[in-house]
Amino acid sequence: MILLAGCATPEPLRAPRSFPPEALITQRAVLTTRGKQFTLNGYLSLSESRGKRLIVTENFGNVLADVLVKSDGTIHVMRSSPAFRESWIRRYVAADLRCVFDKTPNGKCAVTELSSKHLVIKRWLYSLDLQILDIKPGPQPPGMFDETTKATR
């Protein structure tokens, strides 16, 4: 009977992560998928009223993904690449962004917090070992959160 009902153990409560409401955050990550590892750099602009803008680059500076998650939850893929297709950015990059940086992430977040600046996200298709290198608090330029100005390829 217990096997049919599933696990009734509630998920442990965790303290919300504390990031400044307005900041530029520099990140470094190792993405592991299909037995291969890729190093990534991330530049995240946070604005409490406008949303979150994440630009993911590879080591030589090429943009792999550029996504804007507005404060109302709408997702705008500003730029994609062959390595990060638009559908993948919408489904996984935006979801991971919200899991880590939303004030109250949903219960489906697979985030392990190793320290306040070191997180690991594990999903069935990949894992992401994320290190936060620098946090510069302060207001972000409004243009960063304008979904009408998509980058050219």
Domain range annotation of the chain: 18-130
Q: Which residues are CB-contacts of 81 (< 8 A; sequence separation ≥ 6)? A: 62, 63, 64, 65
Cβ(106)–Cβ(94) below 8 Å:
no
Closest CA relative to residue 134, chosen from 39, 19, 20, 25: 25
- Whether the per-residue pLDDT at 147 is higher than 50: the answer is yes
Beta strand segments in the chain, E: 23-33, 36-47, 51-57, 63-70, 75-79, 111-115, 118-122, 126-137
pLDDT at residue 19 greater than cutoff 60? yes
Give me 7's structure tokens. Answer: 């696990």
What is residue 18's predicted lDDT score, i.e. its pLDDT?
A: 76
Lowest mean per-residue pLDDT among 100-109, 112-121, 130-139: 100-109
The SS3 call for residue 62 is: coil
**Closest Cα to residue 147, out of 92, 32, 70, 89?**
70
Mean pLDDT of 23-44: 96
DSSP code at position 91: I
- Rounded Cα–Cα distance for residues 89 and 91 (Å): 6
pTM of the model: 0.85
Of 31-45, 77-91, 114-128, 137-151, minimum mean pLDDT range:
137-151
Can you give the length of the chain in residues? 153
pLDDT in tens, 39-86: 999 999 999 999 999 999 999 999 999 999 999 999 999 999 999 999
More confident residue, 39 or 124: 39
